[in-house]
């Protein structure tokens, strides 16, 4: 569905991505794992166009490598950013409403109750808190809200950046069940995670990143017990006891 070839990204003069090739398959969960600073978040930012990037990205048959963030969002790729970035002063329901912007635009009167119901069905907790302000939610609820806002955009591909960050282990399990459920509803998912264990468990395909490059790739099952994954996290000097 999304084929990325030789993608480079820059922060000023610093090269954050050094030629990355990735394939996000239709209807699958693709995960990107790797240690801190490996360039996982940069990859998502490069895809959505908020950092300077060069390279080819084919969404179905459309070349989106030079699209602005707005065009990328309209093309059907929704980025749920790291540390959630929900709107603190809007209520839960209005936060969700903002997610519809890519297909709704400023002035149309299109209804989004269907999407809203879908999100509330997925996350009943958000329905209970629909009139609360964003900042008053707990970390887990904020993450649900951020993902819910992403679903409101009717995405083809939902990119999730570190959804487990800062959550209690029990909540993480619950959240990843939801992610699988979202995927089962037909939304392809590109998941960036530091928590390799759970990411490999829920995903179909995996890529391991190391200093701005893909170090390893393959079906998630086969990577689950691969020593090279551990090496990518801890460096080549690490030896298994």
- Contact residues toward other proteins (CB under 8 A) are 48, 50, 69-74, 78-79, 81, 83, 85-90, 94-95, 97-99, 101-102, 104, 106-107, 133-139, 142, 149, 153
- What's the min distance (Å) between Cβ of 50 and other proteins? 6
Measured from the CB atom, is 76 or 214 closer to other proteins? 76
Measured from the CB atom, is 148 or 214 closer to other proteins? 148
Measured from the CB atom, is 34 or 150 closer to other proteins? 150
Largest CA distance in the chain: 62
Q: Give the bridge partners for 91, in sequence order.
A: 133
- What's the min distance (Å) between Cβ of 4 and other proteins? 18
- What's the min distance (Å) between Cβ of 175 and other proteins? 16
Measured from the CB atom, is 142 or 188 closer to other proteins? 142
- What's the min distance (Å) between Cβ of 157 and other proteins? 13
- What's the min distance (Å) between Cβ of 152 and other proteins? 9
- Give yes or no for a contact between 210 and 38, defined as CB atoms under 8 angstroms apart: yes
**Rounded to whole angstroms, how far apart are CA atoms 136 and 64?**
37
Measured from the CB atom, is 74 or 127 closer to other proteins? 74
Measured from the CB atom, is 74 or 125 closer to other proteins? 74
- What's the min distance (Å) between Cβ of 110 and other proteins? 10
Quick one: tokens of 213?
A: 């490059």
Query: How many CA atoms, within 13 angstroms, populate the side-chain half-sphere of residue 56?
Result: 10
**Rounded to whole angstroms, how far apart are CA atoms 71 and 86?**
21
- What's the min distance (Å) between Cβ of 59 and other proteins? 15
Measured from the CB atom, is 110 or 237 closer to other proteins? 110
């Amino acid at each position: 569905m999304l084929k990325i070839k030789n993608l480079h990204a820059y922060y000023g003069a610093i090269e954050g991505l050094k030629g990355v090739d990735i394939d996000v398959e239709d209807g699958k969960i693709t995960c990107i794992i790797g240690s801190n600073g490996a360039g996982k978040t940069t990859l998502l930012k490069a895809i959505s166009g908020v950092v300077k990037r060069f390279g080819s990205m084919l969404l179905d048959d459309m070349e989106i490598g030079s699209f602005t963030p707005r065009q990328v969002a309209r093309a059907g790729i929704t980025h749920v950013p790291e540390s959630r970035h929900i709107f603190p002063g809007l209520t839960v329901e209005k936060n969700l409403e903002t997610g519809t912007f890519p297909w709704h635009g400023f002035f149309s009167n299109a209804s989004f109750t269907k999407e809203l119901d879908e999100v509330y069905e997925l996350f009943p907790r958000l329905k209970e808190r629909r009139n609360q302000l964003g900042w008053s939610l707990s970390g887990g609820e904020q993450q649900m809200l951020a993902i819910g806002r992403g679903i409101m955009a009717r995405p083809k591909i939902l990119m999730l950046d570190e959804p487990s960050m800062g959550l209690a282990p029990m909540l993480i399990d619950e959240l990843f069940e939801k992610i699988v459920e979202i995927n089962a509803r037909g939304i392809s998912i590109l998941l960036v995670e530091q928590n390799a264990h759970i990411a490999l468990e829920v995903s179909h395909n995996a890529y391991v990143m190391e200093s701005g490059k893909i170090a390893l790739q393959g079906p998630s099952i086969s990577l689950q017990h691969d020593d090279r994954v551990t090496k990518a996290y801890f460096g080549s000097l690490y030896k298994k006891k």
